[in-house]
């Protein structure tokens, strides 16, 4: 296993979004050849009785999960276990596929050790993601589904997007997050009222 510190300088030569796609390609390999990653899961996945929790009728083997935005299209579920995450929140997923904001839209701030996100819910849409999740079901670690309305959906119709998404994922997600906090979809945060 190559340590992150060894590959980081090369990843940082790429645009942040290109680096993300490269890593995604690698982690997608966990779907093609799952057994090749078993030693990796054995080495990285932390589980201990003191970390285990039963919540919402689900077992969380460890309390550190991956937040939404990294695995927007549910392509890396097994890969996230290989990195040690106790649960994964996929999405944000919208009913229809959408491109998101024009690139560049992800900015690396090296001094601050941070990433700035202006993505705008780029994702492949609920049907592709549903299909992918159903192939991986049942999951060994809980899966949260983070849902959002399409940019073209008017605020008055937003509820219809959310009910459509919940109906689509109701038998697949272990928990749901309705994203009305993103600043990258115009007017989205008005829904908080
Ligand atoms: C590039 C990028 C894309 C993100 N996309 C989403 C998203 O689609 N939906 C969402 O709810 N949060 C999204 N987030 C927010 C993260 O889930 C998380 O809340 C945020 O990065 C803060 O957590 P951290 O300090 O662990 O990075 C995104 C963050 C980044 C950096």
pLDDT (tens place) for every residue of the chain, 193 residues total: 678 899 999 999 999 999 999 999 989 887 788 787 888 888 889 899 999 999 989 999 999 999 999 999 999 998 998 899 999 999 999 999 999 999 999 999 999 999 999 999 999 999 999 999 999 899 889 999 999 999 999 999 999 999 999 999 999 999 999 999 999 999 999 999 9
Is any atom of ligand 1 closer than 6 Å to the C-beta of 92? yes
Neighbours of 67 (CB within 10 A): 12
Q: Atom of ligand 1 at shortest distance to CA of 68? A: 17
Minimum CA distance residue for ligand 1 atom 6: 69
108 contact partners, CB below 8 Å, separation of at least 6:
12, 16, 115
Is any atom of ligand 1 closer than 6 Å to the C-beta of 89? no
Query: Is pTM beyond 0.85 here?
Result: yes
Buried b (16+ CB within 10 A) or exposed e, 39-61: ebbeeebeeeeeeeeeeeeeebb
Q: Which residue(s) pair with 108 in the sheet?
A: 115
Q: Atom of ligand 1 at shortest distance to CA of 181? A: 11
Minimum CA distance residue for ligand 1 atom 19: 67
Is any atom of ligand 1 closer than 6 Å to the C-beta of 55? no
How far apart are the C-alpha atoms of 98 and 6, rounded to whole Å? 35
Burial degree of 1 (CB within 10 A; 0-12, 13-18, 19+): exposed
In which residue are the tokens 């990796």 written? Answer: 40
How far apart are the C-alpha atoms of 157 and 137, rounded to whole Å? 31
> What's the pLDDT score for residue 188?
95
Dump strand ranges (E) for 33-185.
53-55, 58-60, 65-66, 87-93, 106-109, 114-117, 143-147, 175-178
Query: Would you please indicate which residues are annotated as catalytic (active-site) residues?
Result: 182
Minimum CA distance residue for ligand 1 atom 24: 67
Considering the segment(s) 4-192 as one domain, its CATH architecture is Alpha-Beta Barrel (3.20)
Minimum CA distance residue for ligand 1 atom 1: 117
CA 177 to centroid of ligand 1, rounded, Å: 13
Q: Atom of ligand 1 at shortest distance to CA of 148? A: 9
State the maximum Cα–Cα separation within the chain, in Å, rounded to a whole number: 50
How far apart are the C-alpha atoms of 105 and 125, rounded to whole Å? 19
């Amino acid at each position: 296993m190559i340590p992150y510190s060894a590959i980081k300088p090369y990843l940082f030569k790429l645009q942040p979004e290109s680096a993300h796609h490269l890593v995604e390609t690698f982690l997608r390999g966990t779907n093609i050849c799952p057994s090749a990653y078993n030693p990796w899961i054995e080495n990285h996945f932390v589980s201990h009785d003191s970390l285990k929790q039963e919540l919402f009728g689900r077992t969380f083997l460890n309390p550190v999960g991956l937040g939404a935005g990294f695995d927007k299209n549910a392509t890396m579920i097994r890969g996230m276990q290989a990195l040690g995450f106790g649960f994964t929140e996929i999405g944000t997923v919208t009913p229809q596929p959408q491109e998101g904001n024009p690139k560049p839209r992800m900015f690396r701030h090296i001094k601050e050790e941070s990433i700035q996100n202006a993505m705008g819910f780029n994702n492949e849409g609920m049907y592709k993601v549903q299909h992918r999740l159903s192939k991986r079901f049942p999951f060994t670690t809980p899966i949260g589904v983070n849902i959002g309305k399409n940019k073209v959906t008017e605020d008055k119709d937003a509820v219809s997007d959310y009910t459509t998404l919940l109906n689509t994922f109701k038998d697949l997600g272990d928990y749901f997050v309705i994203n009305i906090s993103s600043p990258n979809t115009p007017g989205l945060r008005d829904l908080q009222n």
